[in-house]
A = this chain, B = another copy of it.
């Protein structure tokens, strides 16, 4: 996905205020300073500030009313699935709890996506998945493999033909990508996960939704177990 352009001035304001809210520096119910004061304190014009406030308002983070001011809304109003909101949370809140929620979403989507792809894929879409798989087969270094793996999952998502699922997965995946570097998979891994990918591919080719779902579940389970094992072995960052 795309995050708000931080280079532009109001983009910077969006990021700054958005982070402060998501992190909890500004808490729900809190009243922001007057626009004029806030603009001054961030060294931008009121115009630029207001453009930023409008965007944050669209993300459900704040609410402005004449005479009363701008206040932070309750968390249940936030667009939790917004790419920015998600990335701000990821950038600051390294609680395993939140990561677990992201992983849970991934575990829900991907098997369902595999099943949907198996049910509805066109010939062209299947070809794309097959091509991605072949690129995984011939991948030599871990970078090429990571790229091909990404392509496989993307092709699979496209084959579902459901743009809502595609969008959801893309958001979740990019958020997860901020924790687990994609190229973290070392050379030993693909000989490990390649058969899983093959099973998913075969199920999609044969249009067997439930088989595809199960295969994907197995793949995820293995991947997670692998990750945990590695995490335990390597430097433990968890307190």
Residues of A at under 8 Å CB distance from B? 2, 4, 10, 14, 47, 50-52, 54-55, 57-60, 75-84, 101-102, 104-105, 108-109, 112, 116, 162-168, 171-172
Which residues of B lie under 8 Å from residue A109 when comparing CB positions?
108
Q: How many copies does the complex hold?
A: 2
Q: A4 to B164, Cβ gap below 8 A?
A: no
Is the CB–CB distance between A168 and B168 below 8 Å? yes
Residue pair B60, A165 in contact (C-beta under 8 Å): no
**A12 shortest CB reach to chain B, Å:** 13
- Are A80 and B50 CB-contacts (below 8 A) given A55-B58, A108-B112, A162-B105? no
Q: Which B residues are in CB contact (< 8 Å) with A50?
A: 51
Complex Cα–Cα for A163 and B76 (A): 8
Among A116, A163, A165, chain B packs the most CB atoms within 10 A around the CB of A163
The residue among A59, A104, A165 with the most chain B CB atoms within 10 A of its own CB is A104
